[in-house]
């Protein structure tokens, strides 16, 4: 839902202007939908692994994550210099438990770090708002915080390490296997690849 609200909704007006004969019905939820039973032409999934039997998954964009905090928080609490320093900071985590494991790529190796959050929420958008308000350090997808980093509302921390998100590093378009792909599905997927791709606009920072 966070991706749909933050990015997909703003792209739809351009798509609709380009293809005025196509009607769009956007259904936002975080569950895995059944394309056949629920009558969807296409689904977008943020996932680390695609396991499909009757559908096709096409990568349409790269997903990246960033460790971020508001300038006001850093002014009061200081800036972490290493991953270990995060244990001495207020972290805000995704999920329903204050305990979370953040994973980073360091020198080509996966490095997990267990943190105990000062705040936990099952909404990336809620965590973003709390982070911008100075509640602590958050690990968030850049499609949520990229513009905040670019405009100085949030600061990217420890840029030499690569955070790994819970849902992988690819956005996939999922559609049914069919010998003849409907033109409306084809042009929508091509549009997403054009507008998102390997270097999406929100990663301009």
- One of 3.30.1300.10, 3.40.190.10, 3.90.25.10, 3.30.1490.190 is the CATH number of 2-63+168-203, namely 3.40.190.10
Sign for the CA dihedral angle at 16, 19, 20, 21 comes to negative
Q: Which fold has domain 65-164?
A: D-Maltodextrin-Binding Protein; domain 2 (3.40.190)
- Looking at residue 179, its pLDDT comes to 64
Helices in 30-107 by DSSP H: which ranges?
A: 35-38, 71-77
The angle subtended at Cα 19 by Cα 56 and Cα 3, nearest 5°, is 55
Residue 143 half-sphere exposure toward CB, CA atoms < 13 A: 27
Give 38-73 pLDDT, tens digit per residue.
Answer: 989 999 988 766 666 668 889 999 999 999 999 999
Res 46: pLDDT: 87
* Alpha carbon distance 69, 57 (integer Å): 34
Give the position of tokens 């054009």: 194
| Close Cβ partners of 51 (under 8 Å, ≥ 6 residues apart) | none
pLDDT at residue 49 in the model:
66
106: left (phi over 0), alpha (psi -120 to 50) or beta: beta
Residue holding tokens 């985590």? Answer: 93
Q: What is the pLDDT of residues 17-45, one digit of tens each?
A: 999 999 999 999 888 888 888 989 999 98
Kind plus residue range of the DSSP H or E element containing 190: helix 183-195
Radius of gyration of the chain (CA): 18
- Given this chain, do its domains 2-63+168-203 and 65-164 carry the same CATH topology? yes
Residue 151 has pLDDT above 70, yes or no: yes
pTM of the model: 0.89
Where along the chain do its domains lie?
2-63+168-203, 65-164
141 with 64: CB under 8 angstroms? yes
> For the segment 152-199, what is each residue's pLDDT rounded down to a tens digit?
999 999 999 999 988 888 999 999 887 678 899 999 999 999 999 999
Cα(137)–Cα(118) distance, rounded to whole angstroms? 10
φ, ψ of residue 170 to 5 degrees: the values are -135, 145
Dist. CA 199–CA 63, nearest whole Å: 9
149: pLDDT strictly greater than 70: yes
Residues facing residue 173 across a β-bridge: 44, 58
List, as one string, the DSSP characters of 117-151. Answer: EEEEES-HHHHHHHHHTTS-EEEEEHHHHHHHHHT
């Amino acid at each position: 839902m966070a991706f749909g609200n933050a990015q997909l909704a703003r792209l739809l007006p351009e798509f609709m202007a380009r293809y005025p004969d196509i009607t769009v019905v956007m259904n936002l939820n975080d569950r895995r939908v059944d394309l056949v039973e629920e009558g969807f032409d296409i689904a977008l999934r943020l996932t680390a692994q695609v396991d499909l039997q009757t559908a096709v998954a096409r990568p349409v964009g790269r997903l990246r994550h960033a460790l971020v905090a508001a300038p006001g928080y850093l002014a009061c609490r200081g800036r972490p210099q290493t991953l270990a320093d995060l244990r001495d900071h207020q972290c805000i985590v995704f999920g329903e438990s204050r305990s979370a494991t953040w994973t980073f790529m360091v020198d080509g190796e996966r490095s997990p770090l267990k943190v105990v959050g000062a705040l936990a929420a099952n909404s990336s958008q809620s965590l973003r708002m709390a982070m911008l308000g100075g509640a602590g350090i958050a690990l968030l997808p850049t499609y949520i915080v990229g513009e905040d980093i670019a405009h100085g509302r949030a600061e990217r921390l420890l840029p030499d390490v690569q955070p790994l998100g819970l849902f992988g590093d690819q956005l996939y378009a999922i559609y049914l296997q069919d010998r003849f792909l409907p033109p409306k599905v084809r042009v929508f997927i091509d549009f997403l690849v054009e507008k998102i791709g390997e270097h999406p606009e929100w990663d301009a920072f």
